[in-house]
Amino acid sequence: MILKIDNLHKRFGGIKAIDDVSFTVNEGEIIAVVGPNGAGKTTLLNLISGFIKPDKGKILFKGRDITGMSPSKIAELGIARTFQIPRPLHKLPTIFNIVIPLLSPRVKRLTGGVGDELVRAIDILEEVGFERDSDYIRKPAGLLPHGYLKRIELARALALRPEILLLDELLSGLSRPEVTSILPLLTRLKDRGFTIIMVEHRVRDVSAIADRMIVLNEGVKIMEGTPEEVMTNEKVIEIYVGRRGELA
Amino acid sequence: MAKGRERIERLDRGIRARTRDMYALMSYAEIIYLIGPRIIPPILLLVFPLIISDPYWLLVMSYAAFYGVASISWDILGGFTGLVSFGHALFIGFGGYSAAILNAWYGVPIYLSIPLGALIGAGLGTLVFAPCLRTKGAYFSLASLVAPLVMIGVIYASAEILGGEEGIYGMANPFNDVQWYYIFTITLLVSFLVIRKVVYGKFGLILQAIRDNEPAVKASGINVVKYKLITLFISGVFASFVGALQAHRLAFVGPTFFNLLHSVSIIAMSTLGGIATIVGPALGAYILVILTEYLRILQDVRMLLYAIILIILLIFRPEGLFRYLERIYNTFERKVVEE
Amino acid sequence: MYEALVIILIYGTVLGFTLALVAIGLSLIYGVARIINFAHGAFFAISAYSLYYFFVSIKLNLILSIFFSLVITALVGGALYRIALDRIRGMELNEMIVTLACAIATIEILREIFAPAPLGVPTFIPGQIYIGTYIVEMQRVLIVITSVISLILLWLFIKKTKYGIAMRAVAQDEDAAMLMGINPEFMSMLAMMVSAILAGFAGIIIAPTQTVALENAWYALLNGIAIVILGGLGSLWGSLVAAFIIGYAEVAVATFLSSHLKTVIALIAILVVLVIKPSGIFGKHRELEERV
């Protein structure tokens, strides 16, 4: 058990964004957190990554209480995240987007400060699907198409050499071919030992690679189980179909 | 293609194509093109007293260098990190007062009171602004405007401790005009080199990333507040240093050191010269100081002039003078013979 | 000691109301247009100097003088928005620098037109009343009464009128408001004018109790900034409460320590709030906004 979420609560004004959510994550797993819009998925990620503080409850990373720590401290400990709306460093070339995490204390500690950051940055970009010699690597990141921005997000998280990857709707807004090229990449990452928690809106896509799924609705954990159990659960279907029928 | 046909090419093209950290220059034109703008202005500044010995203009040029350092130090914060200070005079004042108190009251010699004054001034200023660094940039700007104005009130109120409206007199001033000119000018050149080293290295890359997108930097495992604090301190050291120099030069510090005029001048100079260019703010400082000295009528309405310059610049031309000159310079052409 | 407390209570209340008018204007324009208006203090000065011109220099009657002064201030506010801010909306940094530059330009122009020395304006109503054994000038009573009336008028404007409701819509969600046929640009300009009138009115009613001086513009701005941060940027109720906190604190400092030190309260308030609760004492929805 690498991560333990314990009775997490978070309110925004009068809205219960996260209402008593608990679950555990084992090392090397892909966990998919799914649910309709406004279910509290992104809030959950923001809570784990420290961007917002919970009102109540605990988050334990490898037995250590990380509740209320700053985002940079949590990243430093080995939980890296991506953002749903890509947040590249617009004015800096793509490659420098990846150099930034490579300059973090965590990476320096893990690598002993050896090696050229630029070289490693290109390796990581290649890993997430950039062509080694493409113009995109030198262009300001703000000019890249959406699909590549999502890859920059992933590359930035990977550059941190994390133990847990928190992926916030990595697949949203991607075309079908892009999705089919990223899914195997995630499986490869899992095989390399990363623990992945992915928040997704589209259940079908992630059910193919997830080991377990957690369903959120209006801040409450509805159920947890294997993709098959979730996909056939009536309550889940009701939530999705009742709202917009995207499961089918 | 016929051999030997002439065509026009931009002078920088050949150099750009050949260089990657290494310069492989092919002609004197290229050498001059490349190092001319880097070497001529400092030489001009250094030989200035040999050409013009009028103490009045030495004074003016020292003032320009004073504002030049302050503006460059503002640029690391405002231009590179996105922390726009509306009260950089706070550092000038803290530096000036620290050096003055050390020298005039405790007899610390001038060669110690100035650097110590700079460090203490920067430390105090950083301490005041530290609470504003966790929140978004606007709070820093708001607080930075308020802080120097408040300090003026504090000084008025504490006549016994800080000299009140009268200020503090009698600091050591062992130098003449030419020497002061060189002290200020060399300070400017050194500040420029140091700050350029800082912002164009890995540290500066992180600063630019913070300006561009703070959450992304936090998510990259980098302690943003720590970097902002360090930058604030570095910026403060330079501004406080010239504040301390000025205190000794005038053998006086008073509440005027905290004046909004300084803060606004610095912003106007940086904006005119070009934010986030390091050279630009210094250029802007020389232009505005010389301009207001040259046209004496403008002296009394300096504030108005700076304000109007700022409004016009920000509304119509956010590029800045340095970037403009750079662009013009890069279009210098030469004839090449195609092979 | 008892005496001092009564003084703090009376003068603090008067100051609190004046500051509330200033700060609510600042908060309003931030709430509607997301503009941090450094020129806000200039409105305070413009109306005070206009009042001096109409009321003292050309000896117009009081009501007309106030009316014209407010019209001028509102027009300056509108012009500031139309001419300068309209072109740079959304660029927070440029907005801040431009408004600061506008404030300086205004103040320097006032310095050129009027004498740089402080000017005096006679009281609007003579006489004084007794609260217990303490003498309070009628002018100060008038400040409290008219401030309350203007705050009520503002509340009615925001809650009941078409424009007020449209303004609130823009404040909540500019895009949604635009879809409803509201012009956010116009509403922002209107908010700027209303905010100018509020600051201007504060400048007018307080003028007779102090001198008309250029420094007052910075004093008003500095306190305005402290109050909106303390109350939470964009929260009108927060600004109202924070205005009184700052008002009482400043009078207390001026009474017990030195009047030069009263501005320290503003800085301390800002720093303490930023350390303890950056969203301000009433800024509860802040976190929702900053959600990643």
Domains and CATH numbers, chain B: 5-338 (1.10.3470)
Assign B227 a pLDDT band (cuts: 50, 70, 90): very high
A87 with B213: Cβ contact below 8 A: yes
C94 shares contact with chain B (CB less than 8 Å):
yes
Q: Which residues pair with A34 in a beta bridge?
A: A200, A215
Q: Does residue A46 contact residue A8 with C-beta atoms inside 8 Å?
A: no
The first and second tokens of residue A149, run together, are 């921005």
For residue A75, report the phi and psi dihedrals to the nearest 5 degrees: -60, -40
C86 shares contact with chain B (CB less than 8 Å):
no
Partners of B213 on chain A (C-beta within 8 Å) are 87-90
Q: Does residue A158 contact residue A124 with C-beta atoms inside 8 Å?
A: yes
Look at residue A228 in the predicted model and tell me its pLDDT: 84
The residue among B284 and B53 whose pLDDT is bigger is B284
Partners of chain A (3+ Cβ pairs below 8 A):
B, C
A52 with C285: Cβ contact below 8 A: no
Assign C112 a pLDDT band (cuts: 50, 70, 90): confident
Q: Which residue has the tokens 């002064």?
A: C69
Residue in chain C nearest A15 by alpha carbon: C288
**Residue A248 to residue C110: CA distance in whole angstroms:** 70
**Residue A177 to residue A12: CA distance in whole angstroms:** 37
**Residue A36 to residue B87: CA distance in whole angstroms:** 48
**Residue C30 to residue C232: CA distance in whole angstroms:** 11
Residue in chain B nearest C104 by alpha carbon: B307
Q: Does residue C150 contact residue C201 with C-beta atoms inside 8 Å?
A: yes
**What's the Cα-to-Cα distance from A57 to each of A7, A47, A222, C271, rounded to whole Å?**
5, 10, 18, 30
Interface of B with C in 182-241 (CB under 8 A): 215
**Residue C96 to residue B314: CA distance in whole angstroms:** 10
- CA-nearest of C248, C241, C222 to C11 is C248
Q: What is the mean pLDDT of residues C28-40?
A: 86
Q: What is the mean pLDDT of residues C20-42?
A: 87
Q: Is pLDDT above 50 for A40? A: yes
For residue A139, with 0-12 CB atoms within 10 Å meaning exposed, 13-18 middle and 19 or more buried, which class applies?
middle
Q: Which residues pair with C207 in a beta bridge?
A: none
Q: Is pLDDT above 70 for B339? A: no
**Residue C275 to residue B135: CA distance in whole angstroms:** 9
pLDDT tens-digit map of A84-117: 888 888 888 888 888 899 988 888 888 887 778 8
Sign of CA dihedral B307, B311, B312, B317: positive
**Residue B129 to residue A12: CA distance in whole angstroms:** 29
Q: How far is B200 from chain A (nearest CA, A)?
A: 13
Look at residue C75 in the predicted model and tell me its pLDDT: 92
Q: Is pLDDT above 80 for C195? A: yes
Q: Which of A145-159, B111-125, C236-250 has the highest mean pLDDT?
A: B111-125
C274 with B141: Cβ contact below 8 A: no
Q: What is the mean pLDDT of residues B205-227?
A: 90
Q: How far is B220 from chain A (nearest CA, A)?
A: 5
Look at residue B74 in the predicted model and tell me its pLDDT: 94
Out of A73-77, B155-159, B189-193, B256-260, which region has the weakest mean confidence (pLDDT)?
B155-159
Q: How far is B18 from chain C (nearest CA, A)?
A: 38
User: Choosing among C38, C108, C259, which should be mutated to test the B contact, i.e. which has the most B CBs within 10 A?
Assistant: C108
For residue C119, report the phi and psi dihedrals to the nearest 5 degrees: -115, 155
Q: How far is A153 from chain C (nearest CA, A)?
A: 14
> Euclidean distance between the first and final Cα of chain B, in Å?
8
Q: How far is A132 from chain C (nearest CA, A)?
A: 31
Partners of B220 on chain A (C-beta within 8 Å) are 72, 75, 100-101, 104, 156, 159-160
Look at residue B14 in the predicted model and tell me its pLDDT: 56
The first and second tokens of residue A151, run together, are 């890859």
Partners of A73 on chain B (C-beta within 8 Å) are 223
Look at residue B11 in the predicted model and tell me its pLDDT: 62
**What's the Cα-to-Cα distance from A111 to each of A185, A218, C140, rounded to whole Å?**
24, 42, 70
Q: Tell me the three-class secondary structure of A31-74, residue by residue.
A: EEEECCCCCCHHHHHHHHCCCCCCCEEEEEECCEECCCCCHHHH
Q: What is the mean pLDDT of residues C115-138?
A: 79
Mean pLDDT, chain C, rounded, equals: 84
Look at residue B69 in the predicted model and tell me its pLDDT: 95
Q: How far is C156 from chain B (nearest CA, A)?
A: 30
Q: Does residue A46 contact residue C292 with C-beta atoms inside 8 Å?
A: yes
Q: What is the mean pLDDT of residues A185-204?
A: 87
Query: Tell me, what amino acid is at B34?
Result: L
Q: Where are the alpha helices (DSSP H) in chain B?
A: 11-18, 28-51, 55-75, 89-100, 106, 110-129, 137-157, 159-162, 177-199, 202-212, 214-219, 224-250, 260-273, 279-294, 302-316, 321-330
Partners of C289 on chain A (C-beta within 8 Å) are none
B333 shares contact with chain A (CB less than 8 Å):
no
A75 shares contact with chain B (CB less than 8 Å):
yes
Q: C34: alpha, beta or left, given left = phi > 0 and alpha = psi -120 to 50?
A: left
Angle at B201 between CA B200 and CA B207, to 5 degrees: 75
Give percent of chain A with pLDDT exceeding 70.
Answer: 97
Look at residue C289 in the predicted model and tell me its pLDDT: 41
Q: Which residues of C touch A (CB under 8 A)?
A: 284-285, 287-288, 291-292
For residue B258, report the phi and psi dihedrals to the nearest 5 degrees: -95, 5
Query: Tell me, what amino acid is at A195?
Result: T
User: Choosing among A48, A51, A72, A166, which should be mutated to test the B contact, i.e. which has the most B CBs within 10 A?
Assistant: A72
Partners of C292 on chain A (C-beta within 8 Å) are 42, 46, 51-52, 83
Assign B337 a pLDDT band (cuts: 50, 70, 90): low
**Residue B269 to residue B74: CA distance in whole angstroms:** 10
For residue B273, with 0-12 CB atoms within 10 Å meaning exposed, 13-18 middle and 19 or more buried, which class applies?
buried
Out of A36-40, B91-95, B100-104, B154-158, which region has the weakest mean confidence (pLDDT)?
A36-40
Assign B4 a pLDDT band (cuts: 50, 70, 90): low
B208 with A91: Cβ contact below 8 A: yes
Q: Does residue B290 contact residue B134 with C-beta atoms inside 8 Å?
A: no
The residue among C76 and B338 whose pLDDT is bigger is C76
**What's the Cα-to-Cα distance from B338 to each of B4, B13, B40, B196, rounded to whole Å?**
5, 14, 32, 38
Q: Does residue A96 contact residue A117 with C-beta atoms inside 8 Å?
A: no
Q: Is pLDDT above 50 for B1? A: no
Q: Does residue B209 contact residue B216 with C-beta atoms inside 8 Å?
A: yes
Q: B187: alpha, beta or left, given left = phi > 0 and alpha = psi -120 to 50?
A: alpha
Partners of A83 on chain C (C-beta within 8 Å) are 292
User: Choosing among C172, C282, C292, which should be mutated to test the A contact, i.e. which has the most A CBs within 10 A?
Assistant: C292
Q: Which residues pair with A176 in a beta bridge?
A: none
C218 shares contact with chain B (CB less than 8 Å):
yes
pLDDT tens-digit map of B136-145: 768 888 888 8
Partners of B79 on chain A (C-beta within 8 Å) are none
Partners of C287 on chain A (C-beta within 8 Å) are 12, 52
The residue among A28 and B15 whose pLDDT is bigger is A28
- What is the H or E stretch that residue A5 is in? strand A3-12
**Residue B241 to residue B187: CA distance in whole angstroms:** 9
Q: Is pLDDT above 90 for B286? A: yes
B140 shares contact with chain C (CB less than 8 Å):
no
Q: Does residue B331 contact residue B292 with C-beta atoms inside 8 Å?
A: no
Within 10 A of B189 (CB to CB), how many other CB atoms are there? 18
Q: What is the mean pLDDT of residues B176-201?
A: 91
Residue in chain A nearest B226 by alpha carbon: A72
B298 shares contact with chain C (CB less than 8 Å):
no
Q: Tell me the three-class secondary structure of chain C, residue by residue.
A: CHHHHHHHHHHHHHHHHHHHHHHHHHHHHHHHHCCCCCCHHHHHHHHHHHHHHHHHHCCCCHHHHHHHHHHHHHHHHHHHHHHHHHHHCCCHHHHHHHHHHHHHHHHHHHHHHCCCCCECCCCCCCCEEEECCEEEEHHHHHHHHHHHHHHHHHHHHHHHCHHHHHHHHHHHCHHHHHHCCCCHHHHHHHHHHHHHHHHHHHHHHHHHHCCECCHHHHHHHHHHHHHHHHHCCCCHHHHHHHHHHHHHHHHHHHHHCCHHHHHHHHHHHHHHHHHHCCCCCCCCCHHHHCCC
Q: Is pLDDT above 90 for B67? A: yes
- CA-nearest of A215, A180, A185, A190 to A200 is A215
C84 shares contact with chain B (CB less than 8 Å):
yes
Interface of C with B in 9-28 (CB under 8 A): none
C148 shares contact with chain B (CB less than 8 Å):
no
**Residue C224 to residue C246: CA distance in whole angstroms:** 10
Task: Provide CB contacts within 8 A for B27, sequence distance 6+.
Answer: none
Q: Is pLDDT above 70 for B15? A: no
Q: Which residue has the tokens 């701005």?
A: C221
> Euclidean distance between the first and final Cα of chain A, in Å?
33
Tell me, what DSSP letter sits at residue B21? Answer: S
Give percent of chain C with pLDDT exceeding 90.
Answer: 7
A86 shares contact with chain B (CB less than 8 Å):
no
Residue in chain B nearest C262 by alpha carbon: B153
- What is the H or E stretch that residue A22 is in? strand A15-25
Query: Tell me, what amino acid is at B11?
Result: L
Q: Does residue C79 contact residue C99 with C-beta atoms inside 8 Å?
A: no
Partners of chain C (3+ Cβ pairs below 8 A):
A, B
Mean pLDDT, chain B, rounded, equals: 85
Within 10 A of B4 (CB to CB), how many other CB atoms are there? 8
Residue in chain A nearest C289 by alpha carbon: A12
Q: Is pLDDT above 60 for C147? A: yes
- Closest CB to C292: pick one of A12, A13, A51: A51
Q: How far is A71 from chain B (nearest CA, A)?
A: 6
* Furthest C-alpha separation in chain A: 55
Look at residue C288 in the predicted model and tell me its pLDDT: 39
Query: What DSSP string describes A112-171?
Result: TT-S-HHHHHHHHHHHTT--TT-GGGTSBGGGS-HHHHHHHHHHHHHHT--SEEEEESTT
Out of C41-55, C71-85, C228-242, which region has the weakest mean confidence (pLDDT)?
C228-242
pLDDT tens-digit map of C198-207: 999 998 888 8
Q: How far is C171 from chain B (nearest CA, A)?
A: 18
Q: How far is C235 from chain A (nearest CA, A)?
A: 14
Out of B24-38, C71-85, C162-176, which region has the weakest mean confidence (pLDDT)?
B24-38
B314 with C229: Cβ contact below 8 A: no
Look at residue B234 in the predicted model and tell me its pLDDT: 95
Q: Is pLDDT above 60 for B2? A: no
Per DSSP, the three-state class of A209 is coil
CB pairs under 8 A between A and B: 86
pLDDT tens-digit map of B263-275: 988 998 998 888 8
C225 with B146: Cβ contact below 8 A: yes
Q: Is pLDDT above 50 for C165? A: yes
Q: What is the mean pLDDT of residues B73-97?
A: 91
Q: Which residue has the tokens 């420029």?
A: B192
Look at residue B229 in the predicted model and tell me its pLDDT: 94
B205 with A96: Cβ contact below 8 A: yes
Assign C287 a pLDDT band (cuts: 50, 70, 90): very low
Q: Is pLDDT above 90 for B230? A: yes
Look at residue B335 in the predicted model and tell me its pLDDT: 61
Partners of B308 on chain C (C-beta within 8 Å) are 101, 105
pLDDT tens-digit map of A212-237: 888 888 888 888 888 888 888 777 77
Give percent of chain A with pLDDT exceeding 90.
Answer: 5
> Euclidean distance between the first and final Cα of chain C, in Å?
51
